[in-house]
Structure formats: C-alpha cells, structure tokens
Structure 1
Amino acid sequence: MPVPLYEISVPIFIRGLNALSHILAEAEKYAKEKDIPISEFIEARLYPDMLPLTFQIQTCSDISKSAIVRVAGTEPVVMEDNESTIEQLQERIAKTIGILKSVKPEDLEGKEDKEVIVKSKTVELKFIGRNYFQHHSLPNFLFHVTTAYAILRSKGVPLGKRDYLKSFYPGIPI
C-alpha cells in the first residue's frame, strides 16, 4: 500500500521548517555570545554568486506552501519576501508552519495522479501529484534547508548534524 501523499509532504515540510527555526535560534544565540552583528548571518552566502540566508528561508516557506496549493488546490497565501531580521524570519517560519498544520490528510487524498505543471522562465515541468512531491518539491525544499544550515555553519555558528536532523526524528534522541 502506498504511503499517503500527506505523510510524504506536510510532516516533512513542518520538520524542515522546525529545523530552520532551531538553527536560526542557534545563530542568534551565537551572535549575541560573540558580539557579532546578526546582519552578518542574515546577508551571508556560501559563495558570492549564491543567494543569501534570507532567500533560503523564504524559498523553503514558498516551496512548502506552493506544493500544497498545487496538489491540494488550496488558496495560496502570499508573503512579501521582505524579511530582514531573525525575528521576521522566525515569524515567517511560524506562519508557514501554521498554514501547513491547517492542511488535512483528506485534502491530499486521491491527488496522487493529479497533473502538476511547474513553469519557470526557461522550462515547463509536468508531474503527477506523488512524483511532484518526491522528485521536485521535497528535494528542492531540503536543498534550501541544507543550504541555510551550511551558510550558518560557514559563519562559525556551532551547529552539528544533530541540529539539522533532530526535527526529523521527533521523540528519538539522536
């Protein structure tokens, strides 16, 4: 029996957003301890041609929200992408988690084969519901969660694998 779409999407998005919230809190704590301006983290990039930490977090929010809209057909919730502080980023994460928690398993039932089209400036990708989550939105989401982690780690924030994974293993000490 296949795993329901809800189980391969909403809980994973929420856990990833919780991981982001945790690593942001650790960055804020570290910045205060070391008297580092938090803007050094907010504006940080892994490489000059990559986008900053704020973009990574905004993108995680957007991917998770839009994935549900595309498959479940729920109303989109627009966010301005204008966050510039840790507090604003934490608020965005919390708001996104709230949106995801409002999704019910039945909202995704029977949508495994629903056509999902993703258009960009250069390409149009076609999926069915299950493949869209498994092969597009989840890998993309996790890429940006990992990139946010890597940006903060590269700035010296004392994060380890456990900081990233503990949200994905609820109730299990790692």
Structure 2
Amino acid sequence: MPISLYDAFVPSTRQILGSVQALLDKAEGWCAEQGCGEAAIVGASLHESMLPFSFQIKSVAQHSFGAIEGVRAGTIDGMGGAMPGDFAGMKALLAKAADGLAAVTAEEMEGLIGRDMTFVLPGMKLPFTAENYLLSFAQPNFYFHATAAYAIMRAKGVGLGKRDFLGQLRMKM
C-alpha cells in the first residue's frame, strides 16, 4: 500500500509540534529558575546573523498547519504574520497550529494533490504543486526551525535531551 500525503506530512508534524510546545514550557521554567526574563530566550539566537528564537517558533507554526492553509489558498506569504514577542504568544501560535493539524483529514490531504501552490517572498515567487511544496519545502523548513529552537535553548543552558526533541513516539502497541 502506498503512503498517503497525509501520512507523509501530518502525523510526524504533529509529533514534533507537540515536542516544541513542551520545549516552550521548559524554556519558561528555565527562565523562572534562572531569575531572568523570558527575553533571555525569546530574543536569543545561535549567531548574530540568525533570526531569534521567536522567529523559529513562528516558522514552526507557519511550516506546519500554516503550510496546509497556504495549500488550501494556493499561496502563502513567506514573511506573513506577526512574530510573537513572548511565551504566551508563542504558545497560542503553536496551539492554533496543533488544533488545525488535528482537524485535517486524510481525505482532504489527498484532495490537495496536484493543486498549484506558490510560496511568495519579497521579489520572489516559488511555484510548486501542493505535495511538492509540503514535502520538499514546508516539511524540511519545519524540521529546520524546530531544530533551531531546540538548539537555541540548549545553547542557553536549558536542560534538554534528544527525547525532548522527539516528543511522543508512535510506537507499535
């Protein structure tokens, strides 16, 4: 049996999205333990040329459920949406993405196959089919930004391990 677009995108995205939600809880706890404000994490990056933690979280949301919303619309603004400035805003953004992904059905995803999709950046338009956008652009970007958020927290000293990144595994029971 071939794998469906739904199976290739939604379950793993939900898994890592859930782990990123849990990472935010750990970041909040770490800030409280350290006696520092949340800006210590929210504005942090791995390098001065890299966008901050809050952008990584925004991008996790954008390249998960936001990608499906973009496919539904046929286009997505790569720079669209406000960047959350605090943990509460980031949590709300991720909760919206998680709720949206939970409502997506396999039937809907299969119905998206073959649709035209354009990712728009200032001065650039990247044309895709829905499935190529989701699997060759949105999904790699989703994992990149989830990994960057994890790495920023590790670099700041938040006690995390690999299991924190992996989230809830889908094991055979």
Taking structure 2 as the reference length, what is the TM-score of the superposition?
0.85
Corresponding residue for residue 140 of structure 1: 141
CA distance in 1, matches of 2:82, 2:159: 27
- Equivalent positions of 1:91-106 (< 5 A) are 91-106=92-107
Corresponding residue for residue 151 of structure 2: 150
- The aligned length equals 169
Moved more, 138-147 or 104-113: 104-113
CA distance in 2, matches of 1:127, 1:104: 21
Name structure 1 gaps, 5 residues minimum.
none
What is the deviation of 1:58? 0.8
Paired residue type of 1:127: F
Aligned-residue Cα RMSD (Å) equals: 2.4
Paired residue type of 2:14: I
Cα 1:118–1:83 shift into 2, 3 Å: closer
What is the deviation of 1:136? 0.7
Moved more, 153-162 or 30-39: 30-39
Name structure 2 gaps, 5 residues minimum.
none
What is the deviation of 1:103? 1.5
Q: Deviations over 1:17-52 (max 9, x none)?
A: 211111111111122222222210111011111111
- Equivalent positions of 1:38-57 (< 5 A) are 38-57=38-57
Q: What SS does structure 1 have at the residue aligned with 2:118? A: strand
CA distance in 2, matches of 1:91, 1:171: 28
CA distance in 2, matches of 1:66, 1:88: 16
Cα 1:171–1:87 shift into 2, 3 Å: farther
1:112 and 1:128 in contact (8 A); partners too: yes
Once superposed, which parts of structure 1, at least 4 consecutive aligned residues long, lie more than 6 Å away?
none
CA distance in 1, matches of 2:52, 2:158: 16
What is the deviation of 1:163? 0.6
Q: Deviations over 1:73-107 (max 9, x none)?
A: 59x9xx85242221221121111111222212111
Taking structure 1 as the reference length, what is the TM-score of the superposition?
0.85
